[in-house]
Amino acid sequence: MPVIVQKFGGTSVADLDRIRNVARKVKREVDRGNQVAVVVSAMSGVTDQLVNMTRQLSGLSTPSALEEYDTIVSSGEQVTAGLLALALNEMGIPARSWLGWQLPLVSDAAHGKARIHDIKSDAIMESLNEGNVAVVAGFQGVDEHGRISTLGRGGSDTSAVALAAALKAQRCDIYTDVDGIYTCDPRIVTKAHKLHRVAYEEILEMASQGAKVLQTRSVEMAMNHGVRVQVLSSFSDAEGTLLVDEEEVVERKRITGIAYSRDEARITLTSVANIPGVSAEIFGPLADANINVDMIVQNVSEGGAETDVTFTVPRGDLKNALAVVEKSRDKIKYKSLNSDDSVAKVSVIGVGMRSHVGIAQEMFKTLADKGINILVISTSEIKISVLIAEEYTELALRALHTAYGLDTE
């Protein structure tokens, strides 16, 4: 019998009515003759509440505090797994709940952001073969010391994909509150449309660009294990978006989608000595302070003795980043330090970039025609990102969506 993994996020299990609705979606797959393993998140808002409570009690700076953190914040999934199993039983579908340690889903001991080592599938497979639906608490595992671990916020997606790989599932359906992946945020670009297929690589670029539909790690795992993931809504019966290998993306558009992030801040250091080792003096301490630097540009002045260095960091890290840079002023010897937190990053993404030319040029021209100044540019093989003033975000997204022929008629 084919195995299907279904994953339901926090909004899909937010109350008992919604849990009954989820049970009906599970029943439908059972009625189609599938063996079904379901992975659930905590009810929406619950994990936040639990995190809050732990933070009020502790700075979470010791290993044992982090172990308790995981014991506490993983509990929301225990509740929803039990409730869904109960709802299924009430509908006449045999089901049982599974906690991470009961499978077990074995993880490393990096509490709060653990990685999955292995899923032992014998026990759950046996239960499926006996005709039961398995309802698995997402987000949690057990480390080698027998302590509960969690997989990072949004980690139930990764639980689901890992389980689908372990059970050699035919498909991993991720039910969420959006009905798929769109060419652009439909709240901003009304002409955005749903994509039927997206390459794993594209989703990875979109996710890290701020289109937060799936936990990034779950997509990497799906790509590495060839898991067919479908993103769809638990509130409608519409077809979702399928994540596939690049070769399976039939329609080779120039651009697949456009993403944006407002969680950006720019920092510029002027007149830095243009000598070996200076970049390390700037970015080493930032890395040590756990600040994630994204875009970087360096412009060497005429004569080449000095250079300006501009880079971006998450907006919430700006103050911290400035403090870190100021601390090394004696070593870096910059003339001035300035920053701007009213910037946004807009990115065009698509595997079609590998076979089409002129994509960057088109982006720059489209923005220029709208009078939008580009502050920083960065690229990868399938992505071009620009940093612009935040106030032009919507205008840029709409103009690019039209320019690349993505508008629906």
Which residues partner with 388 through β-bridges? 344
CB distance 99 to 70 below 8 Å: no
CA angle 338, 341, 343 (to 5 degrees): 110
CA 373, 357, 378, 265 dihedral sign is positive
**Cα–Cα distance between 82 and 99 in angstroms, integer?**
9
CB nearer to ligand ASP: give 159 or 385: 159
Nearest distance from residue 98's CB to ligand ASP, in Å?
16
Any contact of residue 154 with Mg ion (CB under 5 A)? yes
CB nearer to ligand ASP: give 16 or 300: 16
Any contact of residue 138 with Mg ion (CB under 5 A)? no
Count other Cβ atoms within 10 Å, centred on residue 300: 12
Which residue's Cβ has the minimum distance to Mg ion? 154
Q: Which residue has the tokens 């003033």?
A: 389
Q: Which stretch binds Mg ion (CB under 5 A): 147-155, 198-206, 220-228, 260-268?
A: 147-155
Backbone angles phi, psi at 276, to 5 degrees: -60, 145
CB nearer to Mg ion: give 9 or 100: 9
Nearest distance from residue 48's CB to ligand ASP, in Å?
7
From ligand ASP, Mg ion, none, which one binds at residue 42 (CB under 5 to 8 Å depending on kind)?
A: ligand ASP
Question: Rounded to a whole number, what is the distance in angstroms from the first to the last CA of the chain?
Answer: 42
CB nearer to Mg ion: give 10 or 350: 10
Nearest distance from residue 145's CB to ligand ASP, in Å?
22
Provide the pairing of β-strand 257-273 with 336-349: antiparallel
SS3 220: helix
Nearest distance from residue 388's CB to ligand ASP, in Å?
31
**Cα–Cα distance between 176 and 234 in angstroms, integer?**
6
Nearest distance from residue 136's CB to ligand ASP, in Å?
12
Residue from 9, 138, 141, 257 touching Mg ion (CB under 5 A): that is 9
**Cα–Cα distance between 133 and 1 in angstroms, integer?**
13
From ligand ASP, Mg ion, none, which one binds at residue 136 (CB under 5 to 8 Å depending on kind)?
A: none
Interface contacts to ligand ASP, rule CB under 6 A: 9-10, 41-42, 47, 76, 138-139, 153-157
**Cα–Cα distance between 48 and 76 in angstroms, integer?**
10
From Mg ion, ligand ASP, none, which one binds at residue 153 (CB under 5 to 8 Å depending on kind)?
A: ligand ASP
Q: Which stretch binds Mg ion (CB under 5 A): 6-14, 85-93, 113-121, 161-169?
A: 6-14
Contact positions vs Mg ion (CB under 5 A): 9, 154
